[in-house]
């Protein structure tokens, strides 16, 4: 974090694999595949650390939360995730994704985060919580 600010990108993915949604094995197979995204983010060295522990990526069900100390680092983390998700035949659902800034400068305008193919992920003004409920 820089000066108590954090930049967070939360996005939801959709499955492109041939596993039925709601199937008994779906969560286990998804966990096996998505683990490589976490490993790739950790290996990149980009993001936030607490006592030398990488906290740049947090997973909950099929949601990914990226935490970065700057907008530039957040953009780089997104590219790292996109590369790994692409290799896994998965993609980011930009329509269900949002960026959020925390800190003193949370309301200062900055550039939007964009995917490799140019789709923009916009900044939200308030906390967005969507746990699939």
Angle at 50 between CA 67 and CA 55, to 5 degrees: 35
Measure the CA–CA gap between 58 and 78, rounded to whole angstroms.
13
pLDDT digits (tens, 9 = 90+) for 9-62: 555 444 444 556 667 777 777 777 788 888 998 999 998 999 988 899 988 877
Angle at 116 between CA 111 and CA 117, to 5 degrees: 100
Q: What is the pTM of this model?
A: 0.74
Measure the CA–CA gap between 90 and 99, rounded to whole angstroms.
20
Measure the CA–CA gap between 28 and 44, rounded to whole angstroms.
25
pLDDT digits (tens, 9 = 90+) for 54-101: 899 988 877 888 999 989 999 999 999 999 888 888 888 888 888 888
């Amino acid at each position: 974090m820089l000066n108590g600010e954090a930049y967070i990108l939360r996005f939801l993915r959709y499955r492109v694999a041939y596993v039925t949604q709601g199937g008994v094995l779906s969560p286990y197979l998804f966990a096996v595949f998505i683990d490589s995204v976490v490993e790739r983010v950790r290996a990149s060295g980009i993001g936030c650390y607490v006592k030398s522990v990488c906290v740049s990526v947090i997973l909950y069900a099929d949601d990914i939360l990226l935490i970065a100390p700057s907008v530039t680092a957040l953009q780089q983390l997104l590219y790292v995730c996109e590369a790994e998700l692409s290799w896994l035949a998965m993609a980011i659902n930009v329509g269900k994704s949002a960026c959020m800034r925390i800190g003193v400068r949370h309301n200062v305008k900055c550039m939007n985060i964009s995917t490799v193919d140019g789709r923009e992920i916009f900044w939200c003004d308030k906390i967005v919580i969507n746990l699939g409920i």
